Amino acid sequence: MNIGVASRRTGVSERMIRHYEKIGLIPPPPRRGAGYRAYAEPDLHRLRFIANARDLGFPIEDIRTLLGLWADGGRSSAEVKAVALARAKEFQRKAEALSALRDALVDLAKHCHGDERPNCPIIAELAGARN
């Protein structure tokens, strides 16, 4: 099947399919006479795997690792679990950082009168003038 069909069947854009091929996440498919890429069912399975991993927030290098583990029938599930838990830990770190940012903004807003006066601790903080 051509790239358009592969895209429709997997939900992965043609641009991303080409990108995944370029960075080595999918092997280059054979080309037909006119130079068009010819994708097969195993390529679609791989593209769906990549799309599902991206939906779960895995970065490209983790996806590369997971693809290798997927292809390795002798893998241990502990290896897969370790990749997933490392990603979950990174999400926790980011969630804590976002929570701290939210708290800082709420605190600034709490100290802003929000009326006609020009003085505002939010502007002062952004300008670096707040103590």
**Is residue 80 located within the same domain as residue 62?**
no
Q: Is residue 131 predicted with pLDDT exceeding 60? A: no
**Is residue 71 located within the same domain as residue 81?**
no
**Is residue 64 located within the same domain as residue 105?**
no
Task: State the pLDDT at residue 130.
Answer: 56
Say which residue, 53 or 129, is predicted with more confidence: 53
Task: State the pLDDT at residue 23.
Answer: 97
**Is residue 70 located within the same domain as residue 87?**
no
**119 contacts: CB under 8 Å, gap ≥ 6:** 113
**Is residue 82 located within the same domain as residue 32?**
no
DSSP-assigned letter for residue 115 = S
**Is residue 90 located within the same domain as residue 59?**
no
Rounded-to-integer distance, Cα 50 and Cα 59, Å: 10
Could you give the number of structural domains in the chain?
A: 2
**Is residue 37 located within the same domain as residue 68?**
yes
Rounded-to-integer distance, Cα 104 and Cα 99, Å: 9
**Is residue 57 located within the same domain as residue 81?**
no
**Has this prediction a pTM greater than 0.75?**
yes
**Structural domain harbouring 83:** 76-131
**Is residue 80 located within the same domain as residue 117?**
yes
